[in-house]
Structure 1
Amino acid sequence: MNLDEIDPELRRSVSRMPRLPIRRTWGRRVVRALVRRRGLGVPAEGVGIRDVDLGERIRVYTPAAGGSGAALLWVHGGGYLIGDVVQDDAFCSATSHELGITVVSANYRLAPEHPFPAALDDTADAWRWLQASAGDLGVDQKRVVIGGSSAGAGLAACLVQRLHDEGGVQPVGQWLFSPMLDDRTAARRELDPVRHRVWDNASNRIGWAAYLGTGPGGPQAPDHAVAARRADLSGLPPAWISVGDIDLFADECRTYAERLRDAGVDCAFDLVPGAPHGLEAWAPDTRIAQELLNRSRAWLDARLAGSATTVPGEA
């Protein structure tokens, strides 16, 4: 992929990005340690941050001025191989501050040491903790959206499906940034020469193989392991999906959005021109990222505000 396909504002940053050393154990350990130590960006002022130990840590962001009663359960990205809640301190605290909501960010066990369903089980534990702690948090159990970025957005989509099948209180929306939805993309070897920036198909194949414990693109996948493999998407909550038009995941995100709509699920699809994977995480201060964040938070705010009086599935 040539740099001239990338939005001019992003080219310099993209050209300096090193290739993540995720193929080998030592490389993953180094990246994980760096993320835990440094994070990304500075947390917003006026937001309280505390950690809760559920075996895997979750981080809770609470607006100092008091919340609206709504909440977001957030799941960080990292290709199922790397990542930590601390990497999204700036994003989650800013979302909490701007919208006046509680944000619960879930850590989860990483592959290949912990393949499916470990990560999904951990995010489900975070959901159950949020529901059980809603009174203490000042949160309405029925005003919660589940969201995430990249692999975290894929986990969020899978968690939404699992909760639908289990019954009980349901999230009122799914908020998905560049979601990693379909392992079959990783099996498409014709995509390898494209060399997508930030996250390419070789890395994608490593991530999916580690998570699934087998080569991606097989005839079947376990229930709730791969969001795009689900045959029936009806009954799921409204969705907002964003992806760059030069992101490896552009086609699978577009297809999933279309399938949601065909199943009667309201889905907003935000295709960002000239954007590689995950720009809101590594270039949050650019114009293109700020515009995306404004659009995304407007959708989230409207969804949570609407849920105060109308919850899907209730009269």
Structure 2
Amino acid sequence: MEQQAAGQTVPGSVTIRPPFDPEIEPILAALESFPTLTSESLATFRKLVSGPPPGVDPIDFTVGGAVRVEERQVPGPEGAPDITLVILRPSAGASGLPGIYHTHGGGMVACNRFTGVDQFLPYVAEGKAAIVSVEYRLAPEHPDPAPVEDCYAGLLWTANHADELGIDAQRLLIAGISAGGGLAAGVALLARDRGFPTLSHQLLLCPMLDDRLETHSSRMLDGEGAWDRNDNLFGWNALLGSRRGGPDVSPYAAPARATDLSGLPRTYLECGSADGLRDETLTYAARLSQAGVSVDLHLWGGGYHGFEALAPHAAISRACLAARDEFMRRAIGPDGTCRT
């Protein structure tokens, strides 16, 4: 297979894509200031995604005082630096809460431990869950296996300190979007194969699972959408270097490579039909189900990458977020009705 340097275009012609949902398509114009990812543009890209857009108020992670925010430095993988976790718990205090372990998105190359956490804050503010979100090392400065091993190290610490954190170690789920979804899937595989901890659920939201870029959807966006094939190629090359697309890629780095998906926790997957990560999401869902895993799959017609965050008030986004919320509330509910 031909290897590509970071920033080069994917070989082959662009394939046909479904139309974008007309209500959310105009939002894409606001993303034109975001450069296509290259080694030269990475620093600019990181600055653009490190905080709220101009004119948008920062997120109140305390939710008006209902949530206690704490940061901890905890041991990283053996021989590696410590990692930072942000821990969000109900200010009123509680014990035996479900734990949401969060791995942020950003194409393996950007963003931080606060990115995307806001989607889970309501459950903490309502006293129904606690969140631990990990700051993992980013590629290309820290290529595979640094990101996934950092994420696993944070999960290990969380499980070992569950009582201290007020978390029920038997009700620990992992969640991530985009690159964070891929890392969540990789960590779930690591936890299964290393025998600890046991996860109750995994939420893989438009997950980045396959480095090979051989699917129809992985080639259908070129200079359009919120994450096109060139951005995707850059992220995978940053993570894997010359190994990308070749035979020596770990399933923990690219979970689509895993040959055995049995024994994984109940899985929620979602993706838009006009997202370049669509086909790897659908294939992973089918393979999980064939391996005996209980799967909830949602494909949103006309959705592009991250549409529900970029256009949260659109009808398609409200439907997506409602489905996700319904699953989450069952997953963290007192009787664990979504456990199996």
Alignment TM-score > 0.5, same fold: yes
Q: Given the alignment, which residue of 24, 27, 30 partners 2:44?
A: 30
1:274 aligns with 2:302: yes
2:59 corresponds in structure 1 to 42
Counterparts in 2 of 1:142 and 1:61: CA distance versus 1, 3 Å:
same
Shift of 1:220: 3.5
Partner of 1:56 in structure 2? 83
Task: Tell me the residue number matched to 2:26.
Answer: 12
Q: How does 1:1-315 map to 2 (within 5 A)?
A: 5-18=19-32, 19-25=34-40, 27-38=41-52, 42-43=59-60, 44-45=63-64, 46-54=66-74, 55-67=82-94, 69-97=97-125, 100-185=128-213, 191=219, 194-214=222-242, 216-305=244-333
Residue 6 and residue 192 in structure 1: after superposition, are their counterparts in 2 closer, same or farther (change >3 A)? closer
Give 1:48 deviation, angstroms. Answer: 2.0
Q: What letter matches 1:29 in structure 2?
A: A
Percent identity, aligned pairs only, is 31
Tell me, in whole angstroms, the C-alpha distance in 1 between the residues paired with 2:338 and 2:51.
Answer: 42
Would the aligned equivalents of 1:153 and 1:176 in 2 still touch at CA under 8 Å? Answer: yes
Unpaired segments of 5 or more residues in structure 1? none
User: Shift in Å at residue 302 of structure 1?
Assistant: 1.4
Provide the C-alpha distance between the structure 2 equivalents of 1:167 and 1:34, rounded to a whole number of angstroms.
39
Distance 2:113 2:268 in 1: 22
SS in structure 2 at match of 1:281: helix
The 2-side partners of 1:3 and 1:212 are apart by: 27
TM-score (normalizing by structure 2): 0.83
Letter matched to residue 12 of structure 1: P
Amino acid at match of 2:30: R
After TM superposition, the score normalised by the length of structure 1 is 0.89
Q: Pick the structure with more helix per residue.
A: 1
Cα deviations by residue, 1:151-186 (Å, 9 ceiling, x for unpaired): 010000000001100003311110011000111126
C-alpha contact (below 8 Å) 1:186/1:208 kept by paired residues: no
Q: Cα deviations across residues 10-50 of structure 1 (Å, max 9, x unaligned)?
A: 1221122123353024x222332344344886233322222
Q: Give the 3-state SS of the residue equivalent to 1:305 in structure 2.
A: coil
Note if contact 1:3-1:15 (Cα within 8 Å) is conserved in structure 2.
no
Task: Classify 1:229/1:89 alpha carbon distance in 2 versus 1 (closer, same or farther; 3 Å).
Answer: closer
Shift of 1:301: 2.2
Deviation at 1:105, TM superposition (A): 1.0
Q: Distance in 2 between matches of 1:190 and 1:123?
A: 26
Alpha carbons 1:142, 1:307 under 8 Å: kept: no
1:215 Cα deviation after fit: 5.0
Structural RMSD (CA):
2.8
